[in-house]
Structure 1
């Protein structure tokens, strides 16, 4: 009888632990869901869509030797806003506020392609900041760069395929 009671107690403890872990995961998702929804909405905004167009269609044509200051003002503002968006997103992922999987699964292709177009500009801008003795010049867009490497490690098709609800063939 004592063994049966012990087994029941151990099983009850196990179920309690599993339920607690599940509730903790649900609470984490409840906290991150509004953040992700807002980030995805902002990424779809007309302003950031226009900024991505500028990065892909116009940025390669410009001489980047002067960094951000060498860009036309309207386009510079769009590019800066887009870079800050990805930098902020990178900070949230890096510090565990948002998981990399949904970010990579939904925005990973954009993160990769925008970083690869903007990297020369970022390098020039960092060098300019170092010449001006600004503190920690390499920090400019560092979270964006880190996000790029995180997405390369967890590419969009892999991030989507890891979801137990993904049903489409791997792309």
Structure 2
């Protein structure tokens, strides 16, 4: 009881001071509490806009990369096509060159065969007969196929050789100037000698024989071997004077 009396009733029942309450109670920012939801709501569209802009930039970068890749692929395709075309043209030129070389080799082979034939004794005898004896022995034109076997064989050997040679010239296999420069005079004289007998054969059987020989004879009547020699600038070298 004495202990209860010594305690001050005012100290036991006295309320705490406002300062004490302030120390115990945390301060709350009323403006932040009131404006918090509004501020978050205001910040949300700004973040959404930034996100949209970032996505758009990403899409633009991806689209640019895709276009760059497409341009790169297109450039690669164009380069590959150009290389293919160049390779094709080169192959075609090479094949054409090989073809021309083969044709030239075949032409030379045929021409050398012709040279050998014209140098043979049989061919020379046939040429001599056609040029110097045919008209004398058969002054009245008949078909060359109605000639006796010997004269007929002479005519056929010479005439058909020059006809085949004219065929090669007309079809562009052998150079015309080469043939005229080598055989022009012989072709012309052979046709003049056998023309009446050839035309008689055409009249009798209504067929065209030896057309290429006739064509070459017409050409050599306008372009002679001497013309070709001048065109090729062949030089002369006469023998020295004898003292």
Query: Which of the five TM-score ranges fits, normalised by the shorter chain?
Result: 0.7 to 0.9
- Residue 89 of structure 1 deviates from its aligned partner by 0.6
Structure 1 residues 105 and 78, CA, compared in 2 at 3 Å: closer, same or farther?
Answer: same
SS of aligned partner of 1:167: coil
**TM-score in terms of structure 1 length:** 0.72
CA contact (8 A) 2:145 2:201 kept: no
Q: What corresponds to 1:44 in structure 2?
A: 119
CA contact (8 A) 2:142 2:196 kept: no
Hey, what's the Cα distance between the residues in 1 that align with 2:196 and 2:204?
12
Query: 2:160–2:210: 8 Å Cα contact kept in structure 1?
Result: yes
Q: CA RMSD in A?
A: 2.6
Per the TM alignment, residue 104 of structure 1 is displaced from its structure 2 partner at its CA by 0.8
Tell me the TM-score normalized by structure 2.
Answer: 0.52
In our comparison, the structure showing a higher alpha carbon Rg is: 2
The separation in 2 between residues aligned to 1:29 and 1:158, in whole angstroms, is: 24
Partner Cα separation in structure 1 for residue 187 and residue 204 of structure 2: 24
Q: Deviations over 1:60-110 (max 9, x none)?
A: 120444312432211211211211111111101110110111111111110
Gaps of 5+ in 1: 1-19, 131-136
Greater relative contact order, per chain length (Cα 8 Å cut-off, separation 6+): 1
Structure 1 residue 48, shift from structure 2 partner: 1.5
Deviation >6 Å, runs of 4+: none
Question: 2:180, 2:145 → 1: CA distance?
Answer: 31
What is the count of residue pairs matched by the alignment? Answer: 142
